[in-house]
Amino acid sequence: MTETSIPVLTCMAKENTGRQPVACVPLPQSGSHRRYYRLFFDDNSTLIGAYNDDVAENRAFFEYTRFFAANELNVPALIAVHEDQKHYLLNDLGTKTLYDKLCEIRKNNGDFQDVMADYRKVAAALPKFQMTSKQGLDMSVAYPRAAFDRQSMQWDLNYFKYYYLKMVNVPFNEQLLEDDYQAFMDYLLTVDDDYFLYRDFQSRNIMVFQDDVWFIDYQGGRKGALQYDIASLLYDAKADLSPEIRKELLECYLDNLSNYLTIDRTQFTSYFHAFSLIRIMQAMGAYGYRGYFERKTHFLQSVPYAIRNLRYLLNQNALPANLPELRRVLQTVVDSYAEPTPDNQDTLTVAVQSFSYKKGVPEDNSGNGGGFVFDCRALPNPGREKQYATFTGKDDCVIEYLQKHKETATFERHVCAIVDMSVDNYLERKFTHLTVSFGCTGGQHRSVYFAEQTAKHLRDKYPQIIVKLQHSNSLIHHH
- The confidence band for 2, taking pLDDT boundaries of 50, 70 and 90, is low
Q: From CA 275, how far away is CA 232, in angstroms rounded?
A: 9
pTM higher than 0.85, yes or no?
no
Assess contact for 83 and 70: CB atoms under 8 A. Answer: no
Q: From CA 418, how far away is CA 207, in angstroms rounded?
A: 28
* Mean pLDDT lowest among 135-149, 154-168, 255-269, 348-362: 348-362
Q: What is the mean pLDDT of residues 308-321?
A: 92
Residues whose CB falls within 8 Å of the CB of residue 346, separated by 6 or more in sequence, listed in order: 430, 432
Q: From CA 310, how far away is CA 343, in angstroms rounded?
A: 24
Assess contact for 38 and 91: CB atoms under 8 A. Answer: no
User: According to the model, what pLDDT value does residue 367 have?
Assistant: 58
Asked if residue 18 has pLDDT above 90, the reply is yes
User: According to the model, what pLDDT value does residue 344 have?
Assistant: 47
Q: Smallest Cα–Cα separation from 90: which of 184, 280, 202, 217? A: 217
Report the 10 Å Cβ neighbour count for 172: 17
**pLDDT tens column, 188-245:** 999 999 999 999 999 999 999 999 999 999 999 999 999 999 999 999 998 999 999 9
Asked if residue 479 has pLDDT above 50, the reply is no
**pLDDT tens column, 26-59:** 998 766 689 999 999 999 999 999 999 999 999 9
Q: From CA 25, how far away is CA 411, in angstroms rounded?
A: 12
Q: From CA 375, how far away is CA 244, in angstroms rounded?
A: 48
Spell out the domains of the chain, with CATH numbers in brackets.
2-91 (3.30.200.20), 98-336 (3.90.1200.10), 349-477 (no CATH)
User: According to the model, what pLDDT value does residue 326 have?
Assistant: 97
User: According to the model, what pLDDT value does residue 12 have?
Assistant: 97
**pLDDT tens column, 258-279:** 999 999 999 999 999 999 999 9
- The confidence band for 365, taking pLDDT boundaries of 50, 70 and 90, is low
Q: Which helix (H) or strand (E) is 56 found in, with range?
A: helix 55-70
Q: From CA 395, how far away is CA 445, in angstroms rounded?
A: 9
* Mean pLDDT lowest among 4-13, 288-297, 379-388, 431-440: 288-297
- The confidence band for 470, taking pLDDT boundaries of 50, 70 and 90, is confident
User: According to the model, what pLDDT value does residue 364 have?
Assistant: 67
- The confidence band for 122, taking pLDDT boundaries of 50, 70 and 90, is very high
Asked if residue 474 has pLDDT above 70, the reply is no
